Amino acid sequence: MTDPAPLPPLAGLKIIDFSTLLPGPLASLILAEAGATVVKIERPEGEDLRRYPGAFNGDSAAFVLLNRLKTSLCIDLKHMDAFARLQPYLETADVLIEQFRPGVMERLGFGWGRLRALNPRLIYCSITGYGSKSPRRDVAGHDLNYAALTGVLDGGRGGDGVPALPPVLAADIAGGAYPAVMNILLTLRQRDATGAGCHLDIAMADNMFTFAYGGLADGFATGHWPRPGAELLSGGSPRYQIYPTADGRFLAAAPIEDRFWVIFCDAIGLPAAERDDSADPGRVIARVKSIIAAETTDTWRARFAGRDVCVEIVATMEEAARDPAFARLFTHNIVADGRSLPALPVPVAPSLRQPNPAAGYARLGNADIGNLWQRESDHD
């Protein structure tokens, strides 16, 4: 007789998620993938992300990916009986996630002070742009604004001197969702010892400074603050560059260390006399760029094949998703009405994820108010 498979580590954890769009829903998705039961609180018509372009089963595919393994409870939080309807579940919840501007949950009657008195073990996680104690607490913002204010955006200027739009929502994900998960898990460990919950005040803008560790180190220690397009990792070195090829593709070249730089220069045929980038890196950048631009992507792919050199072709999203190195990440699915959509890969070890590789998502109003903690898989 074989032993039963172990339960995922967060099995039995009960989460009420008031958040919308990306940061909070991604945080609760990660926790759900590790076994937590998540109930998404939505206004009667559903949250805005449901109506974004790219439909799957009548909802936005982006919404579906972020709300796998959850149920949806529709309730007007401004209605006089909203608190009474949710009170039995607020009393037993382990975690609450919310993403309103500071003060909104208090005005709705769901503030931390009231809920702490109701449920002292509750971990109440607020995700906002600037945090409840910031002078900017009431300022509206999105990912781009947080990157701009924290100096991160300034380091990514193009050749025309204009900052480039970031290709990822770093503030939402790495500044909001990931710190929320991290701090919720740390607080769960703390609660094991103290029995008490707490209020987590996650400020997405504040967490962007972690990305700037190198510039902050130099700036504070030496007074040399990063210059856009002039530092090693921001375009000032030939050893960390994106080079166009003859057929409109790009090489992402990062042969930073000398041993990689030598192999790279040998592969592209850069003469030894032109490899010293210490005095005039701009000259070397221009020379390498002209060499790379003279040949096609296939030529360079073959030239670098088998070489330990830190160079890759810039892939499209479709190419990346179908690459055998990454296709293995798309083993879980979202299923609804006979249709299937690959689930979003999350940074949870496979051995710690939910055992059900095919599961539904938070379809509008599919939670049972009579048994709010019933697992999503029981509904479909």
Q: Which of 147, 195, 149, 201 is nearest to 179 (CA)?
A: 201
Give the torsion sign (CA, 370, 373, 376, 380).
negative
Write the DSSP symbol of residue 120.
T
Contact 348, 373 (CB under 8 A): no
Q: Which residues of 178-213 are buried (b: 16+ CB within 10 A; e: fewer)?
A: bbbbebbbebbeebeeeeebbbbbbbbbbbbeebbe
Q: Please, are residues 144 and 89 in contact by the beta-carbon 8 Å criterion?
A: no
Alpha-carbon torsion angle 181, 44, 376, 7, nearest 10: 20
d(CA 349, CA 307): 30
- 147 alpha carbon, distance to own chain's centre: 14
What amino acid positions are annotated as catalytic residues?
142, 172
68-88: b or e for each residue (b if 16 or more CB lie within 10 Å)?
Answer: bbbbbbbbebeeeebbeebee
| Helix (H), strand (E) at residue 241 | strand 241-244
Three-point CA angle 14, 19, 25, nearest 5° = 70
